[in-house]
Amino acid sequence: RPRVLSGIQPTSGSFHLGNYLGAVRQWVALQDSHDAFYMVVDLHAITVPQDPKELRAATRLAVAQLLAAGLDPERCTLFVQSHVPEHAQLGWVMNCLTGFGEASRMTQFKDKSAKQGTAGTSVGLFTYPILQIADILLYQADQVPVGEDQRQHVELTRDIAERFNTRFGETFTVPAPYILKETGKIYDLQDPSIKMSKSASSPKGLVNLLDDPKVSAKKIRSAVTDTETVIRFDPEHKPGVSNLLSILSTLTGTKIGELEQGYEGKGYGALKTDLAEVVSEWAAPFRARTQDFLDDTETLDAILAKGAEKARAVAAETLAQAYDKVGFLPAK
């Protein structure tokens, strides 16, 4: 079975609709066809300042949400990044293989560091994509299910994997991004020219999965559309309406063309009302399940212990190979 690996940051508290539709939904689907490794990336989270207590709570909350979304520890390996020290260990080697210029071209770093200023930007934020390379290569992943905003990081991973293999001999699987066209980029409800994101979206533009479903429904009903009246999928000219259609299509499993037909002669209000209902009906049980997993810390931590053990078995083997290839003297 081909292998997939992906990760999500624990920083945000609630996942948002972009995280779910762009990534987590695919993680759930891929469990059956792939050998799947999924993790909560707490090492990545500390590239910006974190309160220790909050980070710990956010890590468990992220795991609870992944379980509530449908990850099944019997069918995938679910773990916390810091429980597998090999990530940091291989990360160092990857740091030494990546060019400063190459890392400087990462758009996510440029955006985030521009916002924080040089003084507020850690070196960790700069090398963030390089740790991500280690995350992926440690598991010899064939595919990496992510949203469009992670494509550049996966491309860099490919480059560095090829570089390592050329320099030291065949060691790593060169991974491919797994990004769905329909949901790879979910847009902000208030500004459909930008992606939905915790940091950039206004509160009204962002649908948090753990919010009161009534609040989310209201945000959807007041989503920005355009001055036409026709419900048509046309991301370039009608980004707001197209975003709503993409979300509705994915959550209901109805083709966009069918939705367009169904809404012929109807106004934007009808589309928004329907989507608001679909999202709140999805979110209510998701919230309840998340709370259930969160209430049972013992079970949750046991899942993570087992996940870390399974992950380490794979990661340790790859790390040993890589260290050997690089020329490190084995410890006796």
Please report, as ranges, the residues that interact with ligand TYM according to CB under 6 A.
Answer: 5-9, 18-19, 22-23, 41, 44, 132, 135-136, 144, 146-147, 149-150, 184-186, 195-197
CB atoms under 10 Å from CB of 6, counted, come to: 24
**Minimal distance in Å, beta carbon 90 to ligand TYM?**
12
**Residue 122, annotated as binding a ligand:** no
User: Residue for token digits 């003297």?
Assistant: 329
Return the exposure string of 103-115: e unless at least 16 CB atoms fall within 10 Å of the residue's CB, then b.
Answer: beebeebeebbee
CB atoms under 10 Å from CB of 271, counted, come to: 21
Contact (CB, 8 A) for 80 and 308: yes
Catalytic site includes residue 195: yes
**Residue 199, annotated as binding a ligand:** yes
**Residue 149, annotated as binding a ligand:** yes
Catalytic site includes residue 198: yes
Return the exposure string of 28-46: e unless at least 16 CB atoms fall within 10 Å of the residue's CB, then b.
Answer: bebbeebbbbbbbbbbbbb
C-alpha–C-alpha distance, residues 60 and 297, integer Å: 8
**Minimal distance in Å, beta carbon 196 to ligand TYM?**
4
**Minimal distance in Å, beta carbon 331 to ligand TYM?**
28
Residue of closest CB approach to ligand TYM: 22
Q: Exactly one of 53, 110, 115, 198 is catalytic; which is it?
A: 198
Catalytic site includes residue 112: yes
Q: Exactly one of 195, 219, 238, 272 is catalytic; which is it?
A: 195
**Residue 6, annotated as binding a ligand:** no
C-alpha–C-alpha distance, residues 19 and 21, integer Å: 6
Q: Which residues are annotated as a binding site for ATP?
A: 9-11, 18-19, 147-149, 186, 195-199
Q: Which residues are annotated as a binding site for L-tryptophan?
A: 135
Question: Which residues carry out catalysis?
Answer: 112, 195, 198
